[in-house]
Amino acid sequence: MVTTRRRFITPEDLQHFRFVGDPRISPDGSRVLHTVKVVEGEKYFQHLWIDEEQLTVGKVTDALPRWSPDGRRIAFVRTKDDDSQVWQMPITGGEPRPVTSLPPGKISALEWSPEGGRLVLVFHRDPSPELKKEKRQPLLRHITRLRYKEEGVGFLDAERDHLQIVWVNDRRVVPLTEGHWDDAHPVWSPDGLWIAFVSNRLPDADFRPFEMDLWVVPSGGGEPRKLPKPAGPAWFPAWSPDGRTIAYLGHDKPESTWGATNTHLWSVPSSGTQPARDLVAGFDRTCEDVVLTDTKSSHGAGQRPAWSADGREIYFIASDSGSCHLHKVAAAGGIPVALTRGEREVMQFSLAQGRFALTLSEPLNIGDVYDFEIGGELRRRTSVNHAHFEGLRLSTPEPFDTGIQGWLLRPPNFSAEQKYPLLLYIHGGPRAMYGNAFFHEFQVLAARGYVVLFPNPRGSQGYGETFADAIKSDWGNLDYQDLMHAVDQAVKLPYVDGSRLGVCGGSYGGYMTNWMVGHTDRFKAALTERCVSNLYSFYGTSDMGYDDHREFTGHAYDHPEHYAKLSPITYVRNIKTPLLILHSEGDLRCPVEQAEQLYAMLKSLKRDVEFLRFPEENHDLSRTGRPDRRLARLEFILRWWEKKL
């Protein structure tokens, strides 16, 4: 099915998109507070809205909006010129005013106390604000930790993320936690006496990065107390209405393969008298959003669960077969029930008075705020991109099942009498999935006359742990077979030109692109971005490479031959396919040296290869990079495919 619109979408439409996020329903359930991110020139700015009414303006980024318990005020974090502070404003009107005057640093969480007089926040102090202000680098970096850098953050400094209490009326800020560890995801107990949070305080924490414990600390200060839970990650605690139980997201397999173990909903008594237990033990799906798109307001799978007012049920999101939906389960545990349905991605939600506010995306909608009540229908509350999208002619993705789930996106002016080049797109992760959400890049490619094929091969999340774990220590085998089979089936379509095939992917998808052109000459051209080419050097250069042993069944220094066998660079002499390499110079997840190795070897072999580098950008260039660089990237990609296909 093709929608009838006026003009084809272009890369430049990115400049007009609005990105909705963080829906917060008011305490009385009548209104929804949310953020809207916009593009202005080379920057993004973000403002607060209530429903369709804009509350804040200016060249600022307003984030983490939170209703006061009485619904009369809003607290939020405002960042301007790299300075972040807590602000508040009355809901009845009036100008926002600052609540804090913290030193330079970053605020990553904000929550009101139940009585409305205090806020808890997570703060990371900048140890060298003058250097940052003057845009100078330090004289040197003395590194003693295994984990000393982090994608999206940069080089880690001596400061840590800790909880602070803000007294709203007199603007006092009191540290609540301290030490050589990071604290995250704070949430108040219903009586305001305790705060639950997560932290990895193990003495060898850098060697056990996926182990987080659940803690509670008196809100007035005191020693934190660790709650009994199995080893493994923990995120987003949520207190039951009676304060006796804390639900959280996590699992109990810290040594499992990257992302293959399902994140589940757990609960533990806040008294610590009994161990935590998995509330959805038989549920073979992950309780988080793993749908990949390039048009989210923020990227990250986490969403705090929510309790029903009577404490009998808990609500959470879970990814399944290309979609992400709101679910519920009994607080005592059991079989989860999906509350929303259809081809869509529920990204975030909040709950009050039995009503939900959701942000969700669909194949032809970047994202909007919706109302939902159990047993009822979704009701759209905002239409932030409606006016712009009314002028666009878009294509609707079509299911394309080849034994694995996938989709085809045909040109919006499709004619059965023509033959079109086919582009195979491979997602990253590898434990993520393509799905039922709007994807700007795919729409642009379809508008330029390409059929876009985007499947979820084995190794993807959303189809159960066995499916996700199938490629453990065996990248380039079953996943390669699935992808090539999908191409084989697509080429049988009468409108696909089998002589004009392209392959593209980013991150793990870049790895697979490199692998595929080293194992087949089927594709006429290829494009690899933020890629992995050499797993051995990746071990020491990536911000998480030292943790590869869990994915590849052993350390690189113990099994160099295995790492070489699975590295696309090993097969570089086989690569005859013209290849465009895109990479960000600030990428710490898949460092630029991965691209440099591949480019240098191919160039020395006098192969058809080009290298496009993006200064300053990180791993998320295509999703959150500087807008002008995102546009330049898309234009270069279009020129490459036009030239080669």
Three-state helix/strand/coil letters over 125-152: ECCCHHHHHCCCCCCCCCCCCCCCEECC
Nearest C-alpha neighbor of 203 from the set 224, 167, 179, 225: 179
Mean pLDDT, residues 599-609 taken together: 98
- Give tens-digit pLDDT for 495-534: 999 999 999 999 999 999 999 999 999 999 999 999 999 9
Look at residue 558 and tell me whether its pLDDT is greater than 50: yes
Mean pLDDT, residues 582-588 taken together: 98
Mean pLDDT, residues 465-475 taken together: 97
Q: How far apart are CA 317 and CA 264, in angstroms?
A: 10
Q: Examine the residue annotation and report whether 619 is marked as an active-site residue of this protein.
A: yes
Share of the chain above pLDDT 70, in %: 99
Look at residue 1 and tell me whether its pLDDT is greater than 50: no
Mean pLDDT, residues 380-402 taken together: 97
Share of the chain above pLDDT 90, in %: 95
Predicted confidence at residue 82, as pLDDT, reads 86
* CA distances to 222, 256, 328, 388, 584 from 473, in Å: 45, 12, 35, 46, 27
pTM listed for this prediction: 0.97
Q: Examine the residue annotation and report whether 323 is marked as an active-site residue of this protein.
A: no
Q: What single-letter amino acid sits at 142?
A: H
Q: Which two tokens stand for residue 527?
A: 């494009």
Predicted confidence at residue 257, as pLDDT, reads 86
Q: At what angle do helices 627-644 and 440-447 cross, to 10 degrees?
A: 40
Q: How far apart are CA 206 and CA 65, in angstroms?
A: 32
Look at residue 332 and tell me whether its pLDDT is greater than 70: yes
DSSP 263: P
Burial class (CB in 10 A: 0-12, 13-18, 19+), 597: middle
Predicted confidence at residue 514, as pLDDT, reads 98
Predicted confidence at residue 302, as pLDDT, reads 79
Which pLDDT band, with edges at 50, 70 and 90, does 301 fall under? low
Among the options 113, 189, 619, 622, which is catalytic?
Answer: 619
User: Which range is least confidently modeled, 25-39, 296-310, 364-378, 507-521?
Assistant: 296-310
Among the options 395, 507, 537, 584, which is catalytic?
Answer: 507
The strand pair at 225-226 and 213-218 is best described as antiparallel
Distance from chain centroid for Cα 456: 17
Q: How far apart are CA 244 and CA 274, in angstroms?
A: 11
Predicted confidence at residue 135, as pLDDT, reads 86
Which pLDDT band, with edges at 50, 70 and 90, does 3 fall under? very low
Mean pLDDT, residues 603-608 taken together: 98
Q: Under 8 Å CB-to-CB from 418, ≥6 apart: which residues?
A: 495
Q: How far apart are CA 619 and CA 150, in angstroms?
A: 11
Q: How far apart are CA 552 and CA 536, in angstroms?
A: 11
Q: How many CA atoms lie within 13 A of 286 on its CB side?
A: 30
The strand pair at 337-338 and 355-362 is best described as unpaired
Q: Which two tokens stand for residue 530?
A: 């933020």
Strand residues in 81-137 grouped as ranges (E):
83-90, 97-98, 105-112, 118-125
Consecutive H or E run containing 9: none
Q: Coil, strand, or helix at residue 433?
A: strand
- Give tens-digit pLDDT for 43-59: 999 999 999 999 999 99
Torsion region of 153: left, alpha or beta (phi above 0 gives left; psi -120 to 50 gives alpha): alpha
Q: Which two tokens stand for residue 49?
A: 């809205």
User: Which range is least confidently modeled, 151-155, 175-179, 270-274, 300-304?
Assistant: 300-304
Q: How far apart are CA 598 and CA 577, in angstroms?
A: 13
- Give tens-digit pLDDT for 240-285: 999 999 999 999 999 888 899 999 999 999 999 999 999 999 999 9
Q: Which two tokens stand for residue 622?
A: 């295509």
Look at residue 2 and tell me whether its pLDDT is greater than 60: no
Predicted confidence at residue 134, as pLDDT, reads 87
Q: At what angle do helices 508-517 and 478-491 cross, to 10 degrees?
A: 70
The strand pair at 172-175 and 451-455 is best described as unpaired
DSSP 158: S
Look at residue 105 and tell me whether its pLDDT is greater than 70: yes
Look at residue 563 and tell me whether its pLDDT is greater than 90: yes
Domains and CATH numbers, the chain: 68-132+153-387 (2.120.10.30), 395-644 (3.40.50.1820)
Nearest C-alpha neighbor of 209 from the set 434, 510, 546, 491: 546
Average pLDDT, rounded, for the chain: 96
